[in-house]
Every structure is written in structure tokens, then in C-alpha cells.
Amino acid sequence: MLPDRQSDLLIDEIEPARPSFFSRSGFKRSRGAVLESVFREDRLFLILSVFIGIFSGLSVVCFRFAINWARIYLLGSGAVLSPVRLVLAPTLTGLVIAVLVIHVFPLARGSGVNQTKAALYIYNGYIPLRTAVGKFITSALAIGSGQSLGPEDPSLQIGASLASAIGRTMNLSRDRMRLIAPVGAAAGLAAAFNAPISAVLFVIEEVIGRWTAGILGSVVLSAVSSVVVMRWFLGSESLFRIPPVQLQQPSELVAYGILGVLGGLASVAFASGIGTLRAKCRQLPGWTQYFQPAIAGLLIGCIARLGAPQIMGAGYEYMDRAMHGQFTWQMLALLAGLKIIATLLSFSSGTPGGMFAPTLFIGAMLGASIGGAEHIFLPHLTISPGTYALVGMGVLFAGFLRAPMTSVFMVLEVSGNYSIILPVLIANTFAYLISRTLQPIAIFDVLTRQDGLDLPSMEEQREEGILRVEDAMRPAPDVVDAEETFDRARQRFAAIPPPEELVVRLDPTGWCTLTRDAVETMINEGKGAMTLNSVLATQPIPFLHPDHPLETALRFTDRVPLVPVVNRANFRKLEGIISQRDVLVRYREFGEG
């Protein structure tokens, strides 16, 4: 495989070889060199990731405390809430939140995912610390007062904001600063959801959009350290008690397919509802923004007062109860519908808070409803709706948030049970495909565009075709072996139009190029009968393989006019050649196409 040699070439080109710390020369280096090695920015970044995780974990713990305190003082400490408080708490708190968001923390509005993406792509990783403070206060008030929002997305933004502040303090380079916000986001989300794998996947899938070893290590470190801190204070228990989950029989997969379809439709309704209502709310006169959260709170309070207090807040307690079959299937379906309405109101009104928990709530209720109905009408098929509730969460995650990989791993991570992988895959695939078809633009992209930003769509990036070297290279020309003479090389030049170069195959492996002028010079010096090998210093040039991404070619073509493209199985076989012009022409065609 080449690439030993080729990758060496690549690395040498990009970053000069450094003496190993453990080599003889490494030992002789000064203490300063050792410290420099330790504090190289990429290593420093890994250390900082742990700190980011710790700070984010601690912040999320405080955030959870704040939400619960807000809930106790605003709605009361009992399980049955006072009717007056049910209506007044979200309404009056909505007014306070509006004032805070408009006058004190204008960047705290919304969920936080897009703000983190904007930090990555637009603001070079800059998120003001004030945003974290604002998000903390306003989201805690909103969720605690019963607005139908969740704590995960705000936690994500709080983590990102803290990370950004730490990065600024450490005066990181622009590249690192860009990446530090997602590292903090993963930490915040992991701590909020007590699910590090899902958090890492979500950030990679929805915020960063690409897998690279460097960022992955940092994201994982921060997520793990934040979860460790969070569990230190809040325990390691999942957000809900997971019932025994299992697939009773293969025919049950049909029901999970139906769940996927209904989940996909619910996701589309939810997403298009938010897209429409949020846009309309933003079009209203500016002064109405003072009242939008309060009106949303009032309507949610009325829904709760009329018999569905379960829709208030994040609702994890009720997801738990749904998983354990403590509601009738009709009630579950009703709760799913009402939660969609309540979340539409809360989110569209600009109240700070996240959509993760409502999405999971709707999915759990929908899933448990289908499981419950099946239990009644087809009792031989299933035992408990718990599995359906769990799969339903993944379904809405896939359909609404459009994070298919995260949706699968989230269910597996939360349930700790891999036996439901088939139902999850089937249901999520249906939901994702339906949502993708009926709602071509993902909800995060819709919100971004409403905010007047043009952030890259992760979904589009995932589906974007990749240009490779083989798409731009020209067919292989005649090759001259290094054993041939300069006279022979001159004859070869006669067959190709100027100003092309000859491609020389070195022995035993390697390639170089030879210009017409160089050949003429050698012949004029009377060296025409000599072999190319004996005169030319054998300085191999980098070569590529046909499947390399086209952008890789750009790294060489500015310094090497003609880069050989070589077969992966036989390095002496030339597949084609590529120049900078070929690359640029291909990119232009791709852009026009």
C-alpha cells in the first residue's frame, strides 16, 4: 500500500519532520523545546477540552438546579398544580423573559444549536459569555414556569459559550477558536442528556458536519468529562426508568414501521408548524415581542388547566410514565398532539429553550400510544408500550431534528439495550425518509434562514457528491523509463505537443517529470546517449491515486506542474496525470453543473 511513501510525502510537504521526543536528538533538546512540545496548540486544545467539559458539566448541574428551583417557586412543589399558578406562572414569567431577552440578553433567544453553528462558521468561535448567562437565566425561568421547552439545547449553547470564553482567554488560533464552540456544545449536551455518545454524534452530525480525528478527540474528551462531573452531582441514572425492552416477534416490525410513518408525518407537521408560526410571529410589530412569550405561556397554562398539565416543561417525568404504560393510548395520542401545539407556541414566541425534550416527549407519547393501541387490538403482538415509547423518541429525533445517526445511537444509549436495534432502524428510516420527502429543508436550516444567516446545511453536506482525482485527471500519456536515454526522450517529445512534460518512471518505484528544455540542454551538452537515471538526480515527486479527493490534488499542483496518478495496486502503472488547471476546470464545471 502506498501510501507509506506517498503519505510521507504528503506529511513532509505540509509539516516538516520533527525530531522525536524519544530520539537521541530529542533527549538533547532544551527544556524549552520539551515544554514547547507539551504546549503545542493541538495538545493544549485536548487539555482545554477536559476543562471545557468540567466547566460545562458544572454549569449544566447548576442549570438543572435552577430549573427545578424555578419550577418549585413558580408552579409549586406538589405533583398536582394549583389551577391559578398553572395559568399565571407561565404568563407572568413570559413577560419577564421577554424583557430580559429584548433588553439584556438578545442572543439568548431560540434553542442554541444554530447560534453554536453560527459561532463555528461566521464568528470564528466567538460566543459572548453574556449569552451563556442569559441562556441560563431565561431558559431556567421559561422551563421552570411551564413553557413547553427543554434544557438540552440551552445546555449545548451554555457549553459552547463557556468554551468560547476559555478559548479566548487562552488566545487560541483562529482555527482552534472555530472548533472550540462545538467542543463546548458537546460537553453541554452530554451533561444535559446524560448520554455522551449521542452528544458527540449530534455535534459531529449537526454542528461540525465532518469527522476528523483532531476534533473528535476533543469532543469526546469534553463530553466524557462533563458527564463525569454531572454524574458526580446528579447520579448516573437515566432521565427515565427504562422498562424491559424487547422485540417480541418479527411481525411486530410492521407496527414499528407504522410508528415510523406516523412519526415522520408528526415530524413534518411539527417542523412546518414551527417554520410557519415562527415566521409569522417575527413579522408582527416589534412591540408584540414583549407579549409573545406571555401569550404562549397563557395558552399553555390554559391547556394545562383544561386537563393536560403533562405538556408543561420538559416532561421527562411523564415520558417515564408513558414508558411504563401509565396512560391510555388515547391519552398518549392526545398528549402528543397537545405537546406539538404547546411547543409551537413556546418556541415560535421566541422564548429561550430547547426542542430536544419536546421532540422526545412527542415521540415517546406517539410511540407509547401506538404500542398501547396494539396491546389492546392485537394483544398477542406486544407486552408493554415501553419499547414503542423508546423507539418513538428516536423516530421523532430522526424525523424532526433530522439527525439519523444520533437518533439511533441515542435510543441504544438511553436504553442500554441493543436488542431493539431493528425496530429503531426501521422506524427511524421511515420517519427520516418521509420527513426528508415532505419537508425538504431541515428545521435547523429553516430557522437559520429565518434568522437571515446562511449556514451550511449539514444534511446537504452529507448528501453532497465528492469530487475525486479521477474526475479531473487526464488519460495517462506515454511513460519514459529512467533507463532510457536522453535521445530517446527527445524522440518521445516529438510525439507530444508543447509545453507538455514527459513522465518518467523511476526504478524501482517513484515518478518524476522531465521538461523539453532539460532534455535539449542535456543533448546539447553531449549527454544524449546517457540514461536519464544516470544524470538526473532521482527526486521523486508526489503522486496521487484516482480515488483521492480532488482537493488533495490542489496541495501539490501549485508546486508540481504535472502530478502522476498511479494505480493503488501497482505503483509503476500510471493511470493518468493531473495539473492545477485540470483541477480548476473540473471545479468550475462542477459549480456550473
Residues 292-321 that bind another protein (CB under 8 A): 317, 321
Q: Does 51 bind another protein (CB under 8 A)?
A: yes
x/- map, 531-570, another protein, by CB under 8 A: --------------------x--xx--x------------
Q: Minimal distance in Å, beta carbon 252 to another protein?
A: 20
Q: What DSSP string runs through 437-478?
A: HH--S-HHHHHHHHTT--PPPHHHHHH----BHHHHPEEP--
User: What minimum distance in Å lies between the beta carbon of 458 and another protein?
Assistant: 20
User: Can you tell me whether residue 125 is helix, strand or coil?
Assistant: coil
First to last CA, the chain: 35
Q: Dihedral (C-alpha) 480, 482, 484, 486: value to the nearest 10 degrees? A: 90
39 binds another protein (CB under 8 A): yes
Candidate list 325, 350, 399, 477; residue touching another protein; CB under 8 A: 325
Rg (C-alpha) for the chain, rounded Å, is 30
In what side-by-side order are the strands of the sheet with 511-514?
A: 479-481, 502-505, 511-514
Bridge partner list, 512: 504
Residue 28 or 103 with smaller CB distance to another protein = 28
DSSP H helices, 349-379, are 356-377
Identify the CA nearest to 193 among candidates 336, 340, 33, 401: 401
Nearest residue (CB) to another protein, 2 versus 44: 44
Per the structure block, which three cell numbers stand in for 220?
A: 469526546
Q: Which is nearer to another protein, 297 or 385 (CB)?
A: 385
- In the DSSP assignment, the letter for residue 82 is P
Place of cell 418521509: 434
CB 107 within 8 A of CB 130: yes
SS3 433: helix
Binding of residue 58 to another protein (CB under 8 A): yes
The CA distances from residue 574 to 22, 39, 195, 508, 509, in Å, are 39, 43, 49, 14, 11
Nearer to another protein, 35 or 378 (CB): 35
* Count of residues engaged in binding another protein, rule: CB under 8 A: 48
Is 36 a binder of another protein (CB under 8 A)? yes
Q: Which is nearer to another protein, 92 or 170 (CB)?
A: 170
Choice from 32, 416, 452, 508 touching another protein (CB under 8 A): 32
Distances (CA, A) of 532 to 157, 486, 520: 62, 6, 13
Among 1, 25, 28, 77, binds another protein (CB under 8 A): 77
Binders in 425-444 for another protein, by CB under 8 A: none
464 binds another protein (CB under 8 A): no
Out of 211, 213, 235, 497, name the contact with another protein by CB under 8 A.
Answer: 235
Query: Using the 8-state DSSP alphabet, how is residue 514 labeled?
Result: E
Q: Which is nearer to another protein, 68 or 533 (CB)?
A: 68
Residues 236-255 that bind another protein (CB under 8 A): 237, 241, 243
Query: Which parts of this chain interact with another protein (CB under 8 A)?
Result: 14-15, 32-33, 35-36, 39, 41, 44, 47-48, 51, 54-55, 58, 61-62, 65, 68-69, 72, 77-80, 166, 169-171, 173, 175, 229, 233, 235, 237, 241, 243, 317, 321, 324-326, 551, 554-555, 558, 584, 587
